Structure 1
Amino acid sequence: MDNNRKPESKQKKPLLGNVEFKARAKKAGRISALIAKSTLWYPLKVLLLVLCKLLAWTVEIFLTVILVVIITGVVVCCAFSLYIQNYIDPNYEGLDNLKFDSDLNTTMYYVDDSGNEVLLPDDTLHGSENRLWVDYKDIPQNLIDAVICIEDKRFYEHKGVDIKRTVGAILNFFLPGGGQYGGSTLTQQLIKNASGDNETTIQRKVQEIFRALNVETKYSKTQIIEMYLNIVYLSQNSNGVQAAADAYFGKDVSELSLVECAAIASIPKYPTYYDPLRNPDNNLKRRNLILKEMLAQEAISQEEFDAAYNVPLYLSQNRKNDTSSSESNIHSYYIDAVIDDVIAEFIERYGIDKTTASRKVYSGGLTIITNLDPVIQSAMEEVFCDDSCFPETSGIKPQAAMVVSDADGNIRGIVGGRGEKLISRGLNRATMSKRQCGSSIKPLSIYALALEKGLITYGSALNDTPTEFNEKEKTYWPGNTPAGFNGLVSTVFAVQKSLNTTAVRLAQQIGVNECFEFLTTKLGFTTLVESKSYGGTVKTDIAVSPMALGSFTEGVTVREVTQGYTMFINDGAVAKGKTFSMVRDSNGAILIDNRESEETQAISEQNAFIMTQILKSVISSPTGTGYSAFSTYRTFDKDVEVGGKTGSTNDDRDRYFVGLTPDYVAAVWFGYDSNKSLSKMSYNPATRLWIEVMNRVYGKMKTNGKSYQRTFVQPYDIVKVEYCTLSGALATDACRHDIETYLGGKSKVEVGYFTRENAPRDYCTTHVMVKWDKATQAICLDGCACPSASLVDVAFRKIEPRVFRTNLYVADSQYTYIDPSLLPRNYLMPSSPNVPFFWNYYDEQTWPGRTYGATTPYNRVCSEHYNKLPDDENSAVNEGLE
């Protein structure tokens, strides 16, 4: 037995032989091939491959998006941080001295003709008029709860900003149809009320949010609600709940009932709309809503709710019987403007907030020297309270406003509304309302600037034809009011008739950017819009319509229009309009000295005088837009020179008149607060109001023996020159024989005012003498056999051929003349007696213009006596009339 032999179980299996291995491999290959080719494995393999690639692509995109989001977030955060650092001031110190302890009276004075300061006893300002501070412990809990429940129900939970309401406000702002959604907390409202910053910009809102967060770290909730309730505006010239309690209920705030608390809490959202005196129904609806909120938030019981819901208010006895006596001392529109101006000046000069400035004015014991002229102010108020000075209307009466200034910018009188004034510091249409002034802007933005730039002179001839053609509607722009065009006109006539076409042409020549710059930097206009988005539409006043026609984005104020016109009586210089000259503190120290204000030289002294002479013609010439009203209503001294400019808008919603005498400039606006059309009024009521006021002002000055200037002072270097109104050049004999003048029209030769430098030196070449048959009333051209007894020498107006796309009415068309040398060789004269001799110069798609009502124009060829001459190369114009 072999001991070295291993048991069988432990022995290795013998290796396959080559033949057997190959057989088995071959069999396995066949099986694999069959599986690979089967209908189950192949699609599965493809699907798995696609899924793998799709998954990889998805993961790649997801990671890319995540990366982009992270990078964008970092960039946005960095940008926002930089924005906050550079543009947002999170600190607000305006609440530190809000509780102003002084309760001294502020007195108002005017300066009489002898230079003495005269007290205005009815215009003393008392701290009680503006605000009475009340401590938190004296404010009824119902009033505190009412305000919190309706204005900021999470007041005690947030840290100055209510995230939920803020996000809701943001979403509502961006989502279409979202409307308005208030996101401001009481803390934010406190900051807005204290600072007086009501600008609706994202930057202000962001700054307000950061300031609110900061304020909440400095003040307790009790302090915040106390400050808010003491400064919030509650209509009826009442700032704070103590003043409101007295104004509406004649009682101390601590004595208010639940329904009275709800009534006061209703007002802050829209003070005038929810004023219980002016709009009791609106106040009732909102205070009922407040009571519901108080009940829902468990601030009151069901029994308290039932006792107060829908309950009428019992206002203080004097107010209930006579709402016109809503204030014990109602200040004039002028004093309202003084208060606003002094507050604004304190803010600008001392860097304080609006609330502190306001309290200083009312309670700081100041002495304010106003620029008021009581004679002028009383005359204005007398006229504006006299319905006979206004056109008769049914329904709601149209409103009006007026500002009177002297040459130095001292505002002497302001009226901001028609009829008896019922409240202090309400709407002042003269200083606050932005309305369209229409053509009243033209002397400022166009003609004065064009004079200064040397583009026109007093005598320049302008082209009264439209500039733009609308291919789709087949109409021209701009049009004039009344409709129609005049052709060649003088600058004086263009201003007299308030022509739109000439103003547009000059605006395009000057450049609208320069016009805008002139109004804003030289004349001090602040209401013009450089660029602003309205519901996604960007609008600007740097355009032809605003600059040339006064069609502004938002409008202008009467005050700034008045200020602009003062340059014409102030040697071309403009000073900011001032309602006061000085403010002194209770010890007599001068806080604000407004007596010497910096002037801006807008135009030269000579051009200012030339403009006054042009504006005089608006009143004195029968063709002027102000002639009729002055001829009818003027009663004051006829020796006082007056210039002026009317204004109206295309949609006829505003009427303007700005007039000037050697001593004063005054502007008047007339229209509806609702912007309703004035189309049924055939005349300009603003012009009459101006005249009625000046009738009284100059009448009283004459009665009182006060001297006044009667004529505009002519500066040096002004010369008077006889010129042709249709060329601006020196007049010739031909100008005196103008065809229109020959037929009874106005002379085309006038005397104008020029500087020595720009006075005309060349003679007129526009007027061309021609033979004219007075019997046939047609031009006798070469080839006409007109009887010599019928021929007269008259002048027609040689112009460059006008080419219109429609057959426009242009008044001077029948007086125009085209040099025959411009006509084609072998030109064929028209056979119709109803067209000018150069009619065939135009093709079927163009026209030279026509005179309205002129069936046989004066510039037709005398067909009655025209004889065709033999062909002559040098006499192409003689080629036959057939």
Structure 2
Amino acid sequence: MRFLKILFWSLLALISAPIMGLTAIALYLSPGLPDVETLRDVQLQTPLRIYSTDSKLIAEFGEMRRIPISYGQVPENFINAILAAEDDNFLNHHGVDPMGLLRAVTELVQTGSIQTGGSTITMQVAKNYFLTSDRVFSRKLNEILLALQIERSLNKREIFELYVNKIYLGNRAYGIEAAAQVYYGTSIDQLPLSDLAMIAGLPKAPSRYNPISNPERTLLRRDWILGRMLSLGYIDQAEHDEAVASPITATNHGSNPELEAPYVAEMARLEMLSKFGDKAYTNGYHVYTTVDSELQALANVSLRTGLMSYDQRHGYRGPEARHPDSKPDEWPALLKDYRGLGGLLPAIVTGVADDKVTLLLRGGVLGEISWEAMRWARPHLNANSMGPNPDKPADVLAVGDIVRVVPIEGIQFRLTQVPEAQSALISISPQDGAIQALIGGFSFVESNYNRVTQARRQPGSSFKPFLYAAALDNGYSPASMVNDAPLVFFDDYLDSAWRPQNSGGDFLGPIRLREALYRSRNLVSIRLMQDLGVDKALSYIERFGFSRSDLPRNLSASLGTPELTPLQIAQGYTVIANGGYAVKPYLIERIEDYNGQILEVTAAAVTPAARERHEERLSRYAQAANFTDADFTIPELPIAEEVVDPRTTYQLTSMLQDVITRGTAVRARALQRKDLAGKTGTTNDQKDAWFAGYNGDFVTVAWVGFDQPSTLGRREYGGTAALPIWMEFMAGALDGRPEHSQPIPEGLTSVRIDPATGRTSRPGASDGFFEIFKEEDAPPAWDEIESGAYPSGGSDSLPQGLF
């Protein structure tokens, strides 16, 4: 009996000691454990995503690529694959699998090192959300205790959902939906069994079993999981055999944007960073911009086509590199150093014949350039001259040359080159300031310098309409006569006298204001500013959204010498296009959280004409938000301030329409629309070429120039370099849209005038035509002039004798 008692108490002690020890450890560690209830409200680190207004993904920013999904969105085959790979007893245990831990301990005793952790899915959730990855016993004990608590607080579906959304699966992919997008470019519910098993094999070691860098090892892991699924009864033999026979097809799909608009994405990123700091990259914000995907794609094509057309007019600068002694087996390696820029593909010349050259492109693609597709390539000498026309392909290219090409059809390509000049295009809605399309350069990869918002250049004559508006609001009319004659200015601070010139060097004498604008006469602009006074003129021009600090206080400002960005010019033109209202450009339409709940809506100041449409938009957002507290409210919609008399903008638009019908932008008549108006701009030595134009729906500005100012060439003006880009964009943007011009405001009248004097036309005169006047500025009827009531000819006679 004594022996039995000793044995009993010994056994009891052996059993109780571990239990008491574990209890003591649990009591010691428990107070420091986090509250597992926080898992119910956990916010996973999710990247910032930028979208177009029609929900096309533009870009995402953030170290972790994650797309959270619910348990119901996870395919059953994937659930079974994860259970087979990680924890086939998941549905039965209470957070800890004793047999799994026992296996881990046995492996540790036998090998002397940790081989497996014996972790269940619940234990991995505990580690991923609350603990570090340090391989120490204290962490494992905390993991076990947390797993037990998690199982008491959450059901199996909730635990599994937390697991599949958190796990790291390589290539910046966190969670299974992100992994499906990264490796296959599609959603997890679209993948076949073989690919689901591949993803299920990644949690164990994402780098070791990465299907892109280690496809052989990935195949072994995938097939092992498929075998486990078969043995556990999750799939049948036919399904197993079909999946095993499938190859590894994963490739890196990156962020998989649906719309190319990198300059837009960068602008939105910077704005979000200023609003939310570093949390912008991790809180899963969805940013919807005002950019329309079709218009943006059109802007991309228009700018690149126009810039390449300009570039090719000035000849071929030769291949990007020459490797005349290279061997065919070296060509693929030589191409690896070159990537696509603005749609221009790198290629190496593999053969030169009498009527074509053959090519090798990246990825082993073969192609050829016909003689017709390369005969444009006269040697570039400088901006104003080229060498002789080539007679055959060998005059242009040789084997081993690295060139740029664009696809035509099939294996046919056209020879091109990356332009040295740059361009920018922005299109804004004049009714509310929404940026509808924007591209800040030929290629964001080549240069992320956004010329729309950052490049300050002289706008030249495209600035003149703002000065003309000041004149029209200060006693001038479109029929006012101003002398286009030489001027000379002397200044003690100048080395020589300033003798401003017209672009052609000629002078037309007395000329109506309308004609002076569409002919872009510099001397008339100087006389206008001289008569108005520099300070008065610049103060008025500020109404168009310009800062006084950006406007030089001298007469040369009348010729467009202020250094302004295309965005600023576009904003100024919106005031003219919408009838005098100061709308401000904006890019972000709304911001949503990762659950799709609206956090912020832009309620930009709009014109009265756009108010109803925007109120409907904000009302839809309010209904969609379905909020029950005061966290979010739809802001009140303001009406933009009227800063210019609508009669002035109507007169000015009529004058700017003549720029297209008979002036420096006459090429735009090809668009066959009567609602278009605009102004060319060219600076000294043709360093900058502009066209700013609009109708009631779009204000679009195009600029062409070199980043380091240099001449574009003596025959390159706003009407030849920038206007074609504007025309291609507007042709597509306006396709199918009815004509939209500013309605005629009250207080205007139409009077038949004499084109030679700008005064009321003599009855019966055959050369008279109608002009638009403000009622208070209209010239008197002819019989009143003859009666002697207005001996000077009417109110259009101007002070100071501008002749």
TM-score normalised per structure 2 = 0.48
TM-score normalised per structure 1 = 0.44
Ranked by relative contact order (alpha carbons within 8 Å, sequence separation 6 or more), the top structure is: 2
